[in-house]
Amino acid sequence: MLRAARGVLFAIVPLEFVLLAFVVSGASPPRSVVVAGEACVLAALVLEGTVACRLYRGARRDGAGRAAAVRSAYQAIVPEQVRRIMRFDMGGLVALGMFATRRRHGMPPGAVGVSYSKGQTTTMLAFLSAMVIELVGLELLLRAVGAPEGVRLVFLVVDLYSIVIVLAVIAACITRPHVVTDGEVRVRYGVFFDLRIPREKIVSVRTVRNFNESGLVRAAEGRLAVAVASQTNVVVELSEPVTAVRPLGKRVEVRSVRFYADDPDLVGTRAAPSPA
């Protein structure tokens, strides 16, 4: 039943979007289609509720508290990848608030923040400007062809949400810099990636510029790359592996980490190997 509940969870969302698109566009689908669709949604909700109740009762029988049992049922039904994407959205909105109040995340007293956002901010602002122009142009085009107000509203909401997401990514990269403390080096990329490297495991920190990195976070043969605009310029070699969690939850063991910093010399000075 758990496998079926997960499958239905993925199917119910696009079905609801299809029904919503019919409603806001002013179209009138056959009543039998609407009834069948809502019946499927109701059956899916009953299945999800049944599985959630069983998981909750099972966790309670094992001695878990109410909050822990609810959390356990939620984690069992909703795949980790979906949960992480939802956390990305929430973290991005929090980052917008932190940016507005000029605060930074995860900066304990005495820590040194090393920014990495300058390498991509210009490109992302250009991309954001193009999205705003597209939003205005699409709205004018839909009005010109006489599109229903519901259809225009759907496109407007989608475009506005996309713009907010881009703003959230920019804000998250500014408010969540790399962090160097006496105990660790914390390599981050916005809300998508966070790796803590204990200082005692660092063998060397070198400045090595690479301009052809592929992907945001890539791991191969024990080497991890966290790129900004396809660039890295700092390489940290480790004496023993550390576990890195990629954006969608995959865990890898790495002994070398490449990442980008606006001031790589600052990282090399502050993150030098521990004298011990």
The predicted-structure confidence for 54-79, as pLDDT tens digits, reads as follows 888 888 888 888 888 888 887 777 77
Report, as an integer, the average pLDDT of 173-183: 93
pLDDT over threshold 70, residue 1: no
Q: List the chain domain ranges.
A: 2-78, 183-270
pLDDT at 82: 78
Higher pLDDT residue, 51 or 5?
A: 51
pLDDT at 74: 74
pLDDT over threshold 80, residue 113: yes
What is the pLDDT confidence band of residue 218, given thresholds at 50, 70 and 90? very high
Report, as an integer, the average pLDDT of 3-19: 61
User: Cβ–Cβ contacts within 10 Å for residue 101, how many?
Assistant: 8
Higher pLDDT residue, 152 or 201?
A: 201
Q: Using the CB atoms, write b or e for 182-194: b if 16+ within 10 Å.
A: eebbbbbbbbbbb
What is the pLDDT confidence band of residue 155, given thresholds at 50, 70 and 90? confident
Higher pLDDT residue, 142 or 97?
A: 97
Mean pLDDT for the chain overall: 84
pLDDT over threshold 70, residue 93: yes
Distance of alpha carbon 84 from alpha carbon 79, whole angstroms: 9
Which of 22-31, 54-63, 72-81, 105-114 has the weakest average pLDDT?
Answer: 22-31
Cα within 13 Å of Cα(35), Cβ side: 3
Give me the phi and psi of 75, to 5 degrees please. -70, -30
Distance of alpha carbon 246 from alpha carbon 257, whole angstroms: 13
pLDDT at 84: 86
What is the pLDDT confidence band of residue 4, given thresholds at 50, 70 and 90? low
pLDDT over threshold 90, residue 46: no
